[in-house]
Structures are given as C-alpha cells and as structure tokens.
Structure 1
Amino acid sequence: MDTKTASALHRLRLISVPEALSFPALLIFGSLLSRISDINLVMPLGALHGILFTLYLVQLADVWNRAKWPFKRVAFFFLLAVLPFGGLYGDKLLKRYEADSVIAARGRAEAAAEA
C-alpha cells in the first residue's frame, strides 16, 4: 500500500470513533431527554449522526477503492458502523491495517532508495 492508502485508512479511523459514539450517545440521549422534558433534540442530533454516518461511508468507499479491499471486509466494516459501539472494534482493526500499510510503504521507499 502506498501513503495515500495509509492516509485514507487514517481518515476512516478518524471518523469511525465519533460515528460509533454518535448513535448511543447522541440519539439515545436525545430520545431520553425528549421523554423526560420538553426539550426535543432528536432531529438535530439525528442529523448530526446522519452526517457522521455519511462521512464514514464516503471514507469507507475511498479505502475500498484505494486499498482494494474485498467486498466481505467492506461489508463487515459497514455492519460495524450500524451496530452501536461497533465502530470502536472497527477502529482497533483499522489501527492494525493502518500500521501495516505504513510499514509496507516505508519498506518500499527504503528499497527504492537502496536501488
């Protein structure tokens, strides 16, 4: 993988944690708040969650294109994004993929410098 692929993985990692926390933290909090008080934050918090989810999907598609991931892996990361707190596990996996891609890119750069 090249540095652009590693960068795409990093961007996906950056959005995965806020997206993973946005469903339980924002939507459930907003729903509970609207039930116990007159404050209704479900629509704005839902919109924020929708924006984060859309950004996650755009970044996932970018990683799929750059890293040439198999469809099963992309579907698995999509499923993790749908599950509450699933993105936290996805972040752990993405951290490993990102580290592997950076190591591979550095190895290729060193091999090219030696040649």
Structure 2
Amino acid sequence: MSTTKQALSWFRNVALIEGLSLIVLLTFSVLKRTTTYAWAVLGVQYIGMAHGLLFIAYVYLLWACASKYRWNWRRVALFLFASIIPFAPFFVERKLKDEMHG
C-alpha cells in the first residue's frame, strides 16, 4: 500500500473497530439493565472507556482524512453521523475499502 493511502487505511480500520465496540457496548448496556450479572457492569465500564477512545480516534482520523483528501463537508458530516449509529461504521469502512482498491 502506498503511503498516500495510509491515513485512509487507518481510518478504515478504526471505523471497523469503533463500530464493533459500539455494538459490544450496547449489548453490555442492555445486559446491565436487564440482568443481575455483575460482569455486565464491568463490561459497560471497560468497553465504554475503550469505545470512547476509539470514537476520539475515529473523529481525529476523519478530520485528518478530510484535510488530506479534501473531502466535502457533506461527506464529513455523513461519516461523523455514521459514528453514532449502530452498524453504520461498517458502511463507512466498506466505502473506504472500495475507494482504496478502486
């Protein structure tokens, strides 16, 4: 992979992991509220912290890619909005993957 696509590759990977962490966090959150499992509380705490860090990385890399590749504001807004909707980061990852190999 060329270095010109390195930021795009990082963003794509973080989008995938951030999307997974959101789903896992939501799962633990539901378990915390619907069961008496003590580990569900810890899951929310630790997965929540990891997800928060991944979200920060996602936003930073979105900003970096938007600057480097001169993305328009609509694309940036769409990708930012996708970061808060379960499963939407997987579509961002797929779109970036298609662009990298297309």
TM-score normalized by the length of structure 2: 0.85
Match of 1:63 among 55, 65, 83: 65
SS of 1:31's equivalent in the other structure is helix
SS in 2 for 1:69: coil
Q: Which residue of 1 aligns with 2:38?
A: 38
> Which one-letter code corresponds to 1:64 in the other structure?
A
Aligned counterparts, 1:101-112, within 5 A: none
On the 8 A contact 1:13/1:91 being kept in 2, the answer is yes
Quick one: distance in 2 between partners of 1:72 and 1:85? 20
State the distance in 2 between where 1:75 and 1:32 align. Answer: 28
Deviation at 1:97, TM superposition (A): 2.0
Give the superposition deviation at 1:82.
1.1
How many Å separate the matches in 1 of 2:70 and 2:3? 13
Q: Which has the larger radius of gyration?
A: 1
Shift, 1:87, TM fit: 0.6
Shift of 1:4: 4.3
Percent sequence identity over matched residues?
A: 30
Q: TM-score, normalised by structure 1?
A: 0.76
User: What is aligned with 1:94?
Assistant: 96
Task: Tell me whether 67-76 or 39-48 shows the greater mean CA deviation.
Answer: 39-48
Are 1:80 and 2:82 an aligned pair? yes
State the 1:24 CA deviation: 1.4
- Secondary structure, in 3 states, of the residue corresponding to 1:83? coil
Stretches of structure 2 that go unaligned for 5 or more consecutive residues are none
Which residue of 38, 41, 52 maps to 2:54?
52
Aligned residues: 97
